[in-house]
Amino acid sequence: MDGSLTRRGAPTTHEAYGAQHIAQKLAGESRRFGEGAAILIGDLSFVYSDQLLAGASPQVWRIWNELRIELNIGQYLDLLGSANSERSIAKAERICRYKSGKYTVERPLQLGAMLAVPQSQPGAPLQDGATQRTAELLAALSQIGLPLGDAFQMRDDVLGALGESVVTGKPVGDDLREGKPTPLMAIATANASAAQLKVLQLVGAARLTDAQVADVQQVLVDTGAVTQLEARIRSNTDAALGAIAAAPITQEARDALTELAHFVSWRNN
């Protein structure tokens, strides 16, 4: 969907299948073949994921489906924001939360917790005692997962704009060429001078040169956007760590979540 050539240091699925189409001299358009194959592989993955949840409780299915609905809505908002060159901080933060934050941290934490709850029989609703306990736990996991999920996506935005390809596994500047509606870009736009705004207007140009990418990156630094976003990442991480400390969980779980929080916020890929 992003049109990226690589992810995690390897060709993206649509690129790999497009290249296969060309190499085998198949009929039709290689781009459409590659994108069609990628869509079908995604659909097949959804089928397999549902099969893996066969027999799970209704509560698990509710969270699982919420996760998928939120992700799809968030991804559409991301596409729309790119198309509209959206630079509102409020809208960028909402996109940040729904396209990544909730499905990356909050919902997986809740899903894992619910999968761990014993059931009287497969697919049965939870007993009253278990329902009260899980309601308390799910609320605590939201207090952990939401700020940490936001921090995750903010870190991803910094890496997408300023990271090194050899470390991140994807091309540097892709987010800038796509005109992603990120909090980083929204902050930079709000802080920019007239001259800096002119440079930021290059963002979203598919043919952005490496030199122009470097110019935009410099503006992101000079406007203080990077520094401000780093402060937001730290604040969100602190909020998550506070919620972890207060959560009704075991010390083993607390230690694991604390380690996760540090990794999510300070990773370099």
Q: Where in the chain are all domains bearing CATH 1.10.600.10?
A: 53-266
Q: Of 54, 18, 55, which Cα lies nearest the Cα of 36?
A: 18
Supply the pLDDT for residue 9.
81
Supply the pLDDT for residue 232.
96
Q: Does residue 148 contact residue 264 with C-beta atoms inside 8 Å?
A: yes
Amino acid at 113: A
The pLDDT confidence band at residue 195, using thresholds 50, 70 and 90, is: very high
Write the pLDDT tens digit of every residue in 215-263.
Answer: 999 999 999 999 999 999 999 999 999 999 999 999 999 999 999 999 9
Q: What is the mean pLDDT of the chain?
A: 90
Amino acid at 107: R
The pLDDT confidence band at residue 207, using thresholds 50, 70 and 90, is: confident
The pLDDT confidence band at residue 22, using thresholds 50, 70 and 90, is: very high
Write the pLDDT tens digit of every residue in 121-154.
Answer: 555 565 555 677 788 999 999 999 999 999 999 9
Supply the pLDDT for residue 12.
93
Give long-range contacts, CB 8 A cutoff, 24+ apart: 108-111: 108/67, 108/145, 109/141, 109/144, 109/145, 109/257, 110/63, 110/138, 110/141, 110/142, 110/145, 111/60, 111/63, 111/64, 111/67
Write the pLDDT tens digit of every residue in 159-179.
Answer: 988 877 655 566 677 788 888
Output the pTM of the full model: 0.84
Supply the pLDDT for residue 255.
97
- Kindly tell me if the per-residue pLDDT of 4 is higher than 60: yes
Supply the pLDDT for residue 66.
95
Can you tell me the distance from the alpha carbon of 6 to that of 70, in angstroms, rounded to the nearest whole number? 25
CATH classification code of 53-266: 1.10.600.10
Least-confidence region, from 11-25, 77-91, 117-131, 147-161: 117-131
- Kindly tell me if the per-residue pLDDT of 212 is higher than 80: yes
Number of other CB atoms surrounding residue 54 within 10 Å: 8
- Kindly tell me if the per-residue pLDDT of 39 is higher than 80: yes
Place of tokens 């919620």: 243
Can you tell me the distance from the alpha carbon of 254 to that of 109, in angstroms, rounded to the nearest whole number? 12
Distances (CA, A) of 170 to 12, 18, 218: 10, 18, 20
Supply the pLDDT for residue 133.
79
